[in-house]
Amino acid sequence: MTKTIDSKGESRVLSLDLHGWEAVMLVSLALAAAAAISVGWATYKVVMFQREEAREAALKIAEAQKESSRAIEHAATLGVSVNNLEEFTKSTEAKLRTQYGELRKFVEAEEKRNLELIDDFNRNRDALDAARKDSAASVVAAKKVLAEMEVALKAQQDMRDRMLELVTPRRLSDLQFADLKNRLRKFPKTPFDMFAGSSSSVEVNELVARVASALEDAGWIWKPSKNGDFALSIPGKPEVALLVSTGIHIEIAESQRGALEGAAVALRDGLVANGLKVSAVIIPDAEIRPNFDKSCIHVVIGGKQ
């Protein structure tokens, strides 16, 4: 080591006097103390970390022990112990394999059956289509036959109704007579005459008398009718001329429309309401038969149409 003496006579080592070396030593001691503190603090943190890890490990071990205890208890409820665990596992696996095999067989059988049904359907598709077409054609034919039968039945019904109409006498019952009379009271003193069909029958003669009686009872005035030399005689009543006609008709002259139309319509409606077929016509004066009285309502009752 080099030692020098300055101009003041003081000793120096590496250019530092005694006070300088004292300062260096103090700094070195401070640094050493800081390093010792750092090491001590690091050692403390390592110890605390190890203790935390040890505590967490202890908790995990305790939880694992609990899980193990629960598993042992559950195994005990299933009749499983350490000794027979392997046997239990094999038995359970065998049961699962058996059930799986049965389920697979069922699925395969159902799939086979469905394939057979599809094949059968495909084989018979043409036959089914033909049957469907035949069925549709049969329905059309049946509907046609049914329509023809309905037409025939309707014609037969109409014929029967017509025959009944021809053989059933046209009459006015007491109730119908009273109803007709009440309808016509609104037109008192209305003049009328009666005509009977030239091929008059008992039915025509009785109906002429019955209708004329209702009109008289309603206050209408019955006048004799004329048409040549032939007439129907009703004792005590005006003469009823014979006329070539069928059906029942109510006739008035065009010139008397204002005076007689309301009464003529009421007469027609009253007879129709009580079951008789009646028509009402207005005839131009130039077309009225010469012997007809234009001032009267003409009631013509001929044979059935």
Helix (H) / strand (E) element for 212: namely helix 202-217
Q: What is the DSSP letter of 16?
A: B
**What would the pLDDT profile of 50-95 be if each residue is shown by its tens digit?**
677 767 766 776 776 676 667 566 656 655 555 566 676 777 777 8
Apex 303 CA angle, 300 and 304, nearest 5: 115
Token pair for 57: 């490990």
Write out the DSSP string of 52-83: HHHHHHHHHHHHHHHHHHHHHHHHHHTT--TT
Question: Does residue 261 contact residue 269 with C-beta atoms inside 8 Å?
Answer: no
CB 108 within 8 A of CB 101: no
Residues in the chain, pLDDT under 50: 2-3
Residue 18 is predicted with a pLDDT of 63
CB atoms within 10 A of CB 299: 26
Residue 36 tokens, joined: 């010792």
Residue 298 backbone dihedrals phi, psi, to 5 degrees = -95, 120
How far apart, in whole angstroms, are the C-alpha atoms of residue 92 and residue 149? 76
Per-residue model confidence as pLDDT tens digits over 5-32:
555 555 555 566 666 667 767 767 777 6
